[in-house]
Amino acid sequence: MRLVLLGPPGAGKGTLAALLKESLKLVHISTGDMFREEIRNKTQLGCGAKLYIDKGELVPDEIVIQMIEQQLTNNSAVGHGGYMLDGFPRTCKQAEDLDRILERIQQPLDYALYMTATLPIIVQRLGGRRVCRKCGALFHIRNKPPLKENVCDNCGGEIYKRADDNEATIHTRMNVYVNNTQPVKDYYKNQGKLKELDGDKESDEVQAILMKMFRDK
Ligand code: AP5
Ligand code: MG
């Protein structure tokens, strides 16, 4: 199965992707995670992307599309069991270019999962989110605290707060989302591939609803 996960910051895209990775054995491709890895490794791509990410703005389309194209064409695991694109596409240009790439490699998308979430929930989630520096596992100081403070339950790595999870940047990310990413919803609606999910619900419940949608399709 080939999926894209759309939705505002904090809707739970990464959290749902981690669950689907287990249950459906899909490769998880997150452009945000890829950029953070590049930033950690201080690559040229990472240094360039950081200028945008720290402000909550989008990295230019050409850079993101090139990065995704490399993943989809060079990662052999992607061709086998399918994948989830998390945080991509985020503009209509990215969605159109993705379709062109997928047509060329003959791997059309099955569904676009659009996760909604209300603003108070988004602010609460992003304010309390913590991430493992080593394996990327997601935690939350209240909703999902690690067993040992600042230590990842999965790999023992150090847990940190993302630099863009501060009030001012969250505000910019929300505006960018409304202006640039929300229109992508209609792009997939017109293709008949859109499925909407209520991201305010508990993540296990969201996953159960989605699995039922797949069964009933
Ligand atoms: P990215 O990393 O994709 O960030 P985002 O879209 O802002 O989304 P988040 O990762 O913040 O939220 P999420 O929906 O994954 O929530 P999560 O599951 O972690 O992108 C970062 C930046 O990179 C962008 O701003 C941009 O600059 C750049 N970028 C990336 N892709 C790009 C592209 N295609 N084009 C251009 N630029 C791009 O959950 C959040 C918290 O809530 C966690 O603590 C979690 O434990 C908790 N939680 C989640 N779900 C639930 C639930 N159901 N119940 C209770 N708690 C929950
Ligand atoms: Mg995420």
CA distance 200 to 121: 7
pLDDT at position 162 = 95
pLDDT at position 81 = 81
pLDDT at position 144 = 95
pLDDT at position 75 = 80
Q: Which CATH fold topology does 2-120+165-215 show?
A: Rossmann fold (3.40.50)
- State which ligand 1 atom lies nearest to the alpha carbon of 5: 14
pLDDT at position 80 = 77
Active site residue 13: yes
For ligand 1, the distance from its centroid to the CA atom of residue 147, given in whole angstroms, is: 22
For ligand 1, the distance from its centroid to the CA atom of residue 126, given in whole angstroms, is: 8
The protein residue with its alpha carbon nearest to ligand 1, atom 8, reads: 9
Query: Can you give the pTM of this predicted structure?
Result: 0.95
Active site residue 36: no
Residue 90: both structure tokens together: 């985020």
Which one of 50, 55, 161, 162 is the catalytic residue? 162
Q: In order along the chain (217 residues), what is the average pLDDT of each group of 10 residues? A: 97 96 92 95 96 97 96 82 95 98 93 96 96 95 95 97 94 97 97 97 94 86
Question: Among residues 26, 103, 38, 25, which one has the least CA distance to residue 64?
Answer: 38
CA distance 133 to 53: 17
pLDDT at position 86 = 97
Active site residue 162: yes
pLDDT at position 33 = 95
